[in-house]
Chains A and B, each alone.
Chain A
Amino acid sequence: MASESTTAHPFEDAPNHVTPTVVHDPILTKTDFKSVGTRPLRPDGLDKVTGRARYGADFNLPGQLVGLVLRSPHAHAKIKKIDTSKAEKLAGVKAVITAADLPDHTAGDQSMYDILENCMARGIAKYDGHAVAAVAAVDAPTARAALKLIKVDYEILPHVTDVDEAVKPNAPLVNPKMFTEGVEPKPKKASNIAKRTEFGHGDVDAGFKDADVIVERSFRTEQTHQGYIEPHACVASVSPDGTGELWVCTQGHFVYRNHCAMLLGMEVSKLRVTSSEIGGGFGGKTHVWAEPVALALSRKANRPVKLTMSRDEVFRASGPTSATSIDVRIGAKKDGTIVAADATLRFSGGPYYGMWAELGAMTAFACYDLKNVRTVGYEVLVNRPKTAAYRAPSAPMAAFAVESVVDELAHKIGMNEVDFRIKNAAKQGTRASYGPVYGPIGIGATLEAAKKHPHMKAPLGKNQGRGMACGFWFNFGGQTCTDINVGPDGSVTLTVGTVDVGGSRASLALCVAEELGVPYEQVKCIVADTGTLGHNDMTDGSRGTFSSSMAGIFAARNAITVLRERAAKMWEISVEDVKWEDGHAKAVGSKYGNLAPLSLKEIAAAAGNTGGPVAGHSEIVADGAGVSFATHIADVEVDPETGRSKIVRYTVIQDAGKAVHPTYVEGQYQGGAAQGIGWALNEEYIYGKNGRLQNPGFLDYRIPVCSDLPMIDTQILEIPNPNHPYGVRGVGETSIVPPLAAIANAMSNAFGVRMTHVPMSPPRVLKALEAAQKG
């Protein structure tokens, strides 16, 4: 690095070296690396494997109470009356709350009002598990006894939990005030369709007229949960002076702070939130559920309150993904050119307005270069929990439908499915199906790599099939604030506000070590509480490493400016004659040939006499995340007698932009694939006719365990993102997108049976095999 990097410093001309508040476009500035791309141990590893790391439920405070939530047993019911008097009189009960204790402070913000209502039902319970009251007591047995003493008088209302049933004209209305948005004229009748949205370009109808072959199919995917191992947990403490603290397991403690403060009517600065280590989130911990309730209980009891959700509560009352119903139609010429593509997507959002079908509609055909394409999405209300994001939200379901049809179309034309995709793959300059024109992208490269991969040529065993599929995710950046502080011994503390969900502390330390020119071991990365840094958006959208590394690099550049200035003072020369290279200040020019380079450690040791502590700071909006593509290959073995499927080999090929810590990039690829495999084969919410969830536990909702999976092979491609100084793209989400379709395509290739309903569980596979045998 060094003189070139220093010269390219975006803040070089900042007057008096004051930290600027406006950041230049973070164009790619570096392609040769010393630290980035290596695989050091993660700084949180030892604590995690020895049990020292503290997760959400590991925080405790003196005088802490136990909080528990009473939940609706009905899918849809009017709450006529709640009598809490007996519970309040029970010895050991310190507070009982209902919606009346959470007055509306949302000031017309419908999105926040929905969150408020979801945290505690306000007159109507809208799904099985919807919170209706909560207690805080001295211990769990007392809290449980108190819940039993709360009497709720319900009037049961008609319910609907199925996405296709909900869009029928006479379906029970989940929200009688919901009128479909996105259509003209505005409907006069309420509906369970919250919004219609559309993307695309060209003339789809004309395109289909040019097609030699058309494949059209309908698909369904069932609702799944992120399945994080650690349930939601927090400790809330609100003081009579109006200040509060919250220790919580979350993907975004700044956003939790902002939301909780609004819902509790507090000033943001008076609520300090500390994030714990996180035992998985995958989008499910981007949303407050129990935290405002815990704060309200603490405020009323004037004691700290710990609230931990049980697994049953996590399933019934946190934020699973959408159930979907999707129709896809694609037409192609005999030479393999796709001439038209059309999809209609219906995604459930629980009882609230969402953007889930919209995301499905945007991602559905994003892998392809299409002249005529249209996607229409419908956001559908149902009496199920409020949908939350799940790793590349909505993209896996859309890809399942589209990639299944793409495979079938290739075979009908008589083309190899990889060649067919290569022929139609999007590239730089392609207009994406959702609108903009792509910059440098990696879909073609992942397909070419798949074609050459040894996995593609490996022999298959009995009852085995091989399938492949592609996937896309946007990635994004967002608000990010980062500090670097150089200690008197020259060690560096990197303070970030993005929760580490997958090894980002190691990756961020690598980037700052790279920029400063010091060893990785010299940089310690910590996640700060909300009182320490400016606002950071949460770790979602694959943004943690992308955005905090960008902010960290800029903070390092600011620190280097200070270090050069301090070296100049030590040498009593002009700062213009000092450059930063390989972790040292060096005097430029032959007249300073007798000045030995000053290390960061030497400059730090002298800091007290050259102007005080050495630090660098950066606050940015990290836009320009760079889209991500992947191609997966799956070998599946199906037992034709039982319908049980087993993944015998699996390969992920994905573009990482620049893999900062390749081991953790591979881990993200493998983790996404593992979750996608579970989604494809086993996982589903099962509702009874009474609208109650039948399988709220890991015994009946089966996520894959290690023995279910082969070692998942990975291949990292690096097509640099020009909008990041080191070329980094987000990598966390895309790998969950292709597995559903790759596995369905493998089954189709093995048995000639096209599976159109996920999960492809043994009963569904058996039924499909039997139907195929009957012809």
Chain B
Amino acid sequence: MADIHLWGALRPAAGGASVVSVNAKTIRELFRKLAEDYPGMEPHIARGVAVSIDGKIYRDDWQRELPEGAEIYLLPRIQGG
């Protein structure tokens, strides 16, 4: 189980929790399970969510593995100019 830190806009979908536990090996599996367990997160995931794994931010690489004990933060998928 990995602890997944949520930014504020996702928290209402998790009953106000800032951290949820998810059993997932990859980003893809994480998104799938979050959408299953917390349906309110699905629109956010569809719009774009980035994943920070130990400080390195992944916007697109859904095959990326979630290492055991890694610190995982969900972030909006950033836009730039």
1/0 per position for B38-80, CB-CB distance to A under 8 A? Answer: 0000010001000010111111110010000001010110111
Residues 118-153 of A at the B interface (beta carbon under 8 Å): none
Residues 1-54 of B at the A interface (beta carbon under 8 Å): 5, 7-9, 11-12, 15-16, 43, 47, 52, 54
Hey, which chain A residues are within 8 Å of B59, CB to CB?
476-478, 621, 623
Contact (A436, B81) CB under 8 Å given A182-B8, A197-B7, A197-B9: no
1/0 per position for A382-394, CB-CB distance to B under 8 A? Answer: 0000000111110
The docked-state distance in angstroms from the alpha carbon of A198 to that of B81 is: 23
Hey, which chain A residues are within 8 Å of B11, CB to CB?
182, 198
Contact (A476, B78) CB under 8 Å given A435-B7, A623-B61, A723-B56: yes
Q: Are B57 and A474 in contact (CB under 8 A)?
A: yes
Q: Are B80 and A476 in contact (CB under 8 A)?
A: yes
The docked-state distance in angstroms from the alpha carbon of A392 to that of B43 is: 25
Hey, which chain A residues are within 8 Å of B60, CB to CB?
478-479, 621, 623
Segment among A40-48, A540-548, A569-577, A682-690 that sits at the interface with chain B: A540-548
The docked-state distance in angstroms from the alpha carbon of A183 to that of B52 is: 24
Residues 590-630 of A at the B interface (beta carbon under 8 Å): 621, 623-625
Interface assignment of A381: CB less than 8 Å from any CB of chain B:
no
Interface assignment of A677: CB less than 8 Å from any CB of chain B:
no
Q: Are A111 and B47 in contact (CB under 8 A)?
A: yes
The docked-state distance in angstroms from the alpha carbon of A391 to that of B79 is: 10
Contact of A359 among B5, B61, B64, B79 (CB under 8 A): B79
Hey, which chain A residues are within 8 Å of B47, CB to CB?
111
Nearest A residue (CB) for B81: A283
Q: Are A733 and B55 in contact (CB under 8 A)?
A: no
1/0 per position for A470-501, CB-CB distance to B under 8 A? Answer: 00011111110000000000000000000000
Contact of B7 among A184, A199, A476, A624 (CB under 8 A): A199
Q: Are A393 and B55 in contact (CB under 8 A)?
A: no
Nearest A residue (CB) for B64: A623
Nearest B residue (CB) for A200: B8
The docked-state distance in angstroms from the alpha carbon of A621 to that of B66 is: 17
Hey, which chain B residues are within 8 Å of A540, CB to CB?
79-81
Residues 428-481 of A at the B interface (beta carbon under 8 Å): 434-439, 473-479
Q: Closest CB-CB distance, A283 to chain B, in whole Å?
A: 3
Q: Are B9 and A391 in contact (CB under 8 A)?
A: no
Hey, which chain A residues are within 8 Å of B12, CB to CB?
182-184
The docked-state distance in angstroms from the alpha carbon of A623 to that of B27 is: 14
Q: Are A355 and B80 in contact (CB under 8 A)?
A: no
Hey, which chain B residues are within 8 Å of A389, CB to CB?
79-81
Q: Closest CB-CB distance, B76 to chain A, in whole Å?
A: 5
Q: Are B55 and A439 in contact (CB under 8 A)?
A: yes
Nearest B residue (CB) for A441: B55
Q: Are B80 and A542 in contact (CB under 8 A)?
A: yes
The docked-state distance in angstroms from the alpha carbon of A597 to that of B80 is: 46
Q: Are B81 and A286 in contact (CB under 8 A)?
A: yes
Q: Are B75 and A355 in contact (CB under 8 A)?
A: no
Hey, which chain B residues are within 8 Å of A479, CB to CB?
60
The docked-state distance in angstroms from the alpha carbon of A244 to that of B8 is: 43
Q: Closest CB-CB distance, B62 to chain A, in whole Å?
A: 9
1/0 per position for A368-398, CB-CB distance to B under 8 A? Answer: 0000000010000000000001111100000
Hey, which chain B residues are within 8 Å of A393, CB to CB?
79-81
Interface assignment of A651: CB less than 8 Å from any CB of chain B:
no
Hey, which chain A residues are within 8 Å of B16, CB to CB?
184
Interface assignment of A653: CB less than 8 Å from any CB of chain B:
no
Hey, which chain A residues are within 8 Å of B58, CB to CB?
623-624
Hey, which chain B residues are within 8 Å of A582, CB to CB?
none
Contact (A476, B57) CB under 8 Å given A355-B76, A435-B7: yes
Interface assignment of A195: CB less than 8 Å from any CB of chain B:
yes
Interface assignment of A507: CB less than 8 Å from any CB of chain B:
no
Q: Are A474 and B8 in contact (CB under 8 A)?
A: no
Hey, which chain A residues are within 8 Å of B57, CB to CB?
436, 474, 476, 623-625
* A and B contact pairs by CB, cutoff 8 A, 8 listed: A198-B9, A286-B79, A358-B76, A362-B75, A434-B75, A435-B73, A541-B81, A723-B56
The 4 closest A-B pairs by CB, nearest first: A198-B8, A283-B81, A541-B80, A436-B52
List 10 additional A-B contacts (Cβ < 8 Å) besides A359-B79, A474-B80, A624-B56: A182-B9, A184-B16, A391-B81, A392-B81, A436-B55, A474-B78, A541-B81, A623-B56, A623-B61, A623-B64
Residues of A near any B CB (own CB < 8 A): 111, 181-184, 195-199, 226, 281-284, 286, 355, 358-359, 362, 376, 389-393, 434-439, 473-479, 540-543, 621, 623-625, 723, 733
